[in-house]
């Protein structure tokens, strides 16, 4: 099975002026096609450095996909860089120039002289017409290696990758398999605790299992290579079953499932409605639950009745009083109160939940960076609701 590398081109990426979203899209399409991705690289608009990155990539990967640098200006160097990497010249292709002029005509415009630069490609390369933009793509084959240059404009890149490049790669490398991934979401547990229970699975080769920690949550990624989706799903399900047996209630969902939805669904099963008081979180819990409740339109009643952000709250007594008041105001069964405050250069988190079954008060410890504290407190509060 061939391996791939992505090289995103543009000094603006290195300066932080734009966010590279192309790599993520390409990575997922390669995964779905059964192609391993070995590395992602970003390079500025310098032909020598781009050529060096391409040469380095070709040492370990059969497929090099570049995005960006195919425009008409002097700081669009990808054509020259690819030619330099494979030691050929560039050449003018009249048919590409005609395609470019036709595209401009459809836009009601005339190309300028510098647009002719876009009709130059490395000698011996395969030109790929771009029906959704003005910059043709191209493929440079070198032995069993393929260097594929795509536009940096996301809409153009996505169209060409899906409709031209992926079919080409499947033909050239006789790819028939697939790579599938499933994410298992957990909350209320640390990464190290999960690792202790499933470390043997993390040593598997197919499916592979990996962990990704977030603020108050940990994702477990299962990735499988197989001849088809059905075979991949079967292998993934076997590994998922073992993980569920070992982690139990720490798991709240898979793939697109969210912690806020899991919390609301748990309340709905009990027939309980919720109101929230928060302080120090910037209304994060209220906003998130509001969005989640709108997505649960299959339920017969509005689980989340509303909430208040009260910045003046500074103690448990005040938090409890405000939560009780809101329960009465909205006539709900459950009140959640969360207070995040700075105490002696550390953050103190207090979570209070009042239900028909009683009152629960917890003070989860937080020792991470200050900017992560609100998200951590939010996720911890939602997980307590999910676990009622």
Residue 348 has a pLDDT of 85
Domains of the chain, by residue range, sit at 3-172, 179-254, 259-386
Residue 13 has a pLDDT of 92
Q: 259-270 and 373-386 helices cross at what angle (nearest 10)? A: 30
In the predicted model, is pLDDT for residue 105 greater than 90? no
Label residues 345-372 b or e (16+ Cβ within 10 Å = b): eebbbbbbbbbeeeeeeeebebeeeeee
Percent of the chain topping pLDDT 70: 98
More confident residue, 194 or 344: 194
In the predicted model, is pLDDT for residue 284 greater than 60? yes
Residue 301 has a pLDDT of 62
In the predicted model, is pLDDT for residue 298 greater than 60? no
Q: Return d(Cα 6, Cα 22) in angstroms, integer.
A: 9
Q: What is the DSSP letter of 129?
A: -
Going by C-beta distance under 8 Å and a sequence separation of 6 or more, which residues neighbour residue 70? 76, 78, 79, 118, 135, 136, 137, 149, 150, 151, 152
Kind and range of the H or E element at 379? helix 373-386
Report the DSSP beta bridge partners of residue 275: 306, 335
Q: Return d(Cα 263, Cα 293) in angstroms, integer.
A: 10
pLDDT in tens, 132-190: 888 899 999 999 999 999 999 999 999 999 999 999 999 999 988 888 999 999 998 88
| Cα of 20 vs its chain's centroid, Å | 12
In the predicted model, is pLDDT for residue 255 greater than 90? yes
Residue 101 has a pLDDT of 86
318: tokens are: 């005040």
What's the mean pLDDT when you consider all of the chain?
91
Cα 290–Cα 342–Cα 252 angle in degrees, nearest 5: 40
Report the DSSP beta bridge partners of residue 307: 276
> What CATH fold (topology level) applies to the domain 259-386?
Maf protein (3.90.950)
Q: Return d(Cα 129, Cα 131) in angstroms, integer.
A: 6
Nearest to 157 by CA among 51, 264, 37, 67: 67
Q: Return d(Cα 156, Cα 167) in angstroms, integer.
A: 16
pLDDT in tens, 21-44: 999 999 999 998 989 999 999 999
Residue 37 has a pLDDT of 94
| Cα of 184 vs its chain's centroid, Å | 15
Residue 207 has a pLDDT of 94
Class of domain 179-254: alpha beta
Nearest to 223 by CA among 40, 26, 35, 4: 35
pLDDT in tens, 49-91: 999 999 999 999 999 999 999 988 888 899 999 999 999 999 9
Q: Is the Cα torsion angle 102, 106, 107, 109 positive or negative in sign? A: positive
Kind and range of the H or E element at 334? strand 334-343
226-231's contacts with Cβ under 8 Å and 24+ in sequence apart are 226/177, 226/178, 226/180, 227/176, 227/177, 227/178, 228/177, 228/178, 229/178, 229/180
- Domain 3-172 maps to which CATH number in 3.40.50.300, 3.40.50.2300, 3.40.50.11540, 3.40.980.10? 3.40.980.10
């Amino acid at each position: 099975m061939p391996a791939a590398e992505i090289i995103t081109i543009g000094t603006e990426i290195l300066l932080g002026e734009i966010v590279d979203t192309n790599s993520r899209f390409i990575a997922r399409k390669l995964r779905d096609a059964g192609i391993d991705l070995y590395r992602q690289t970003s390079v500025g608009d310098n032909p020598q450095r781009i050529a060096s990155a391409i040469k380095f990539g070709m040492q370990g990967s059969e497929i090099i996909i570049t995005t960006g640098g195919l425009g008409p200006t002097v700081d669009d160097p990808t054509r020259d860089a690819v030619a330099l990497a494979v030691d050929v010249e560039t050449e003018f292709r009249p048919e590409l120039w005609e395609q470019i002029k036709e595209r401009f005509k459809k836009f009601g415009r005339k190309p300028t002289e510098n647009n002719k630069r876009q009709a130059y490609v490395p000698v011996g390369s395969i030109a790929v017409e771009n029906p959704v933009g003005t910059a043709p793509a191209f493929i440079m084959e070198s032995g069993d290696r393929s260097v594929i240059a795509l536009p940096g404009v996301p809409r153009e890149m996505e169209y060409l990758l899906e409709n031209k490049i992926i079919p080409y790669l499947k033909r050239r490398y006789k790819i028939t398999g697939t790579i599938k991934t499933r994410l298992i979401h957990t909350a209320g547990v640390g990464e190290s605790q999960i690792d202790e229970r499933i470390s043997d699975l993390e040593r598997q080769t197919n499916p592979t299992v990996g962990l990704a920690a977030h603020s108050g949550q940990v994702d477990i990624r299962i990735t499988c290579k197989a001849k088809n989706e059905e075979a991949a799903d079967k292998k993934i399900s076997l590994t998922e079953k073992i993980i569920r047996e070992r982690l139990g209630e720490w798991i709240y969902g898979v793939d697109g499932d969210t912690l806020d939805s899991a919390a609301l669904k748990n309340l709905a099963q009990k027939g309980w409605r919720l109101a929230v008081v928060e302080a120090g979180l910037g209304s994060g819990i209220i906003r998130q639950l509001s969005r989640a409740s709108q997505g649960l339109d299959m339920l017969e009643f509005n689980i989340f009745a509303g909430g208040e952000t009260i910045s003046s709250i500074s103690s448990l007594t005040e938090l409890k009083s405000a939560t009780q008041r809101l329960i009465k105001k909205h006539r709900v069964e459950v009140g959640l109160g969360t207070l995040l405050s700075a105490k002696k250069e550390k953050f103190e988190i207090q979570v209070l939940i009042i239900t028909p079954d009683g009152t629960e008060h917890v003070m989860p410890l937080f020792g991470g960076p200050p900017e992560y504290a609100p998200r951590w407190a939010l996720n911890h509060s939602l997980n307590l609701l999910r676990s009622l």
